[in-house]
Structure 1
Amino acid sequence: MENLNEFLNCYNEKDHSIALNNRNIYVSYSGDYKGNPINHVHNSCELLFIEQGGGEYKIRDQQYHIEKNGVLIIGGTDPHSRRFTQVPCIRYGLTVLPAFLQSLPVINSYMNVYRTHSPEEANKLRGIDDVTFNRMVSIIWQLREETKDNGQGKGDMVYALLLEMTIILNRLLQLEKQDISGMYKTMSDIKNYIDFHYAENLSLEELSRIFYLQPNTISKNFRKTFEKNINSYIHSVRVSNAVRVLEKNDISITELSEVVGYASVNTFLRQFRESLGISPLQYKKQFEQYKEDAGKTRLTWDIREKKKY
């Protein structure tokens, strides 16, 4: 556990966007004093711990309500939009890359925690008792302190804190541990391959050749393991990485589609719009406006009275 690649920041839009896609673990604290609506998607799984206020999230076409003492989990590459209806909406954020979690002993058998749950399941994370909620906030504070040096020499403590957080959430959600051997491991390997090779040929035939499995075996077991169609997952990873590129660069749509693995610009545009409801150019404009608005209405660690739990 010595070489964990942890990062931390308070709220900085540029760093936050980078962290959501590239960093193994990232802790944030933010409060919005306006609705600040946005459509978004990123590679990390995002956990939101609501300290005050509330609002509505739409994740993969399903509606979720957030409120004080609640936790919302957004699976990696799942498109989502939000609108704060009770402001200020003040929350802690913990983002973790799924591939990083899968590399950690014990935690990798609780990966069902780190996905978007059905609205019915998600209701189990609303109105959490003060003792449990405050303990999770305390863990976030400790993670913030432990990652100030980017994890130098403190990997074991970060792992212990993540494990405790995972077990607390698993108990609240009442999920069973997963058997991480056999087909689950193979499907996880395929999922990780997609995450890192999204710009390459990812046809079922190519994955079949690489992993020595029949295409229908991959398709059936991927859906069974992750509750997602494998082709839909490939598109979601590509769109998520397209968003990451858009947020950092000025790039033509043709070049962008090639960078994330699409041979057809029209296919890329269709998949992007299906995921986020807008075109890449509209997203770029929306994101720039969001950064400007959020910079005027957002609270961060540095201007908050730091209350320890």
Structure 2
Amino acid sequence: MNSHDILVGQINSLRKEKNAVILAHYYQIPEIQEIADFVGDSLDLSRKSAETNADIIVFAGVNFMAETAKILSPQKRVFIPDLEAGCSLAESCPSEEFRKFREEYPDHMVVSYVNTTAGIKAMTDITCTSTNAVQIIESIPKEQKIIFAPDRNLGNYLNSITGRNMLLWNGACHVHEEFSLEKMLAILKSHPKAKLIAHPECQGPVLIAADFVGSTSALLKFVETDGGSEYIVATESGILHQMRKRNPQKTFIPAPPIDSTCGCNDCRFMKLHDLQKIFDSLNEEKFEINLDMEIMEKARKPMQRMLELSA
């Protein structure tokens, strides 16, 4: 038995012994996706974190996702394998700056993407994910003014789809900001049958050029049901593991960033986790997520509204 199999066996033993579950986002490395109890996008994992009967949740994602699990399941212990697993998008919206911004527009309702800190969620009326964002926006009366935070690219896309004129916070994800449309078009020239599919956090020109735009789960569904055979995928490269696993007969090409030596675009925070850190998190019970009770209570309400609307 090799060292990988031994480590996986140890993780499985600890998971059973401690009544723990491992949640992994689609952007995690394949090894973590393979040992996780649940793999999904942020909405799916939010639901799983609330539904599980486990005592311990190990969240292989980024900090805001682990915070979300703790907010929805305050009685459970939630751990993140690496405390440095932040999020460029969440960090682009500091709580105090957003508080001042919100106070300037008291007649606006706040819709925030789940890719935010607990502090931002506590100032939010309803949260959304890229999967349910259109549904959430369209549930709000047309006459109601809206602040959307923190992703300006997703906000612009939602404005174009819903016909709203939401006021946008100027935040962005480093992964989706760094794709090179020029390089994608060059790939399309050499792969004329390929389709470009993109996450709505990408910049406008990429979304205009795309054959399909959708959340991580929507992209997965599209390539499973579409009749094509080749796809250029403009989102974090971790999703290609599930695409290839579910569709071995199809070809998936990671969309290239402007400046890269690997030819793909990884989230430097998502990729901080590995199997050893998963084991250490379970074994040593370290890097536990603890939040202020008042913040959690305030942040839970907009997320529960989202989950009710998305049920």
Task: Verify same fold: TM over 0.5.
Answer: no
**Greater share of helix:** 1
TM-score by length of 1: 0.30
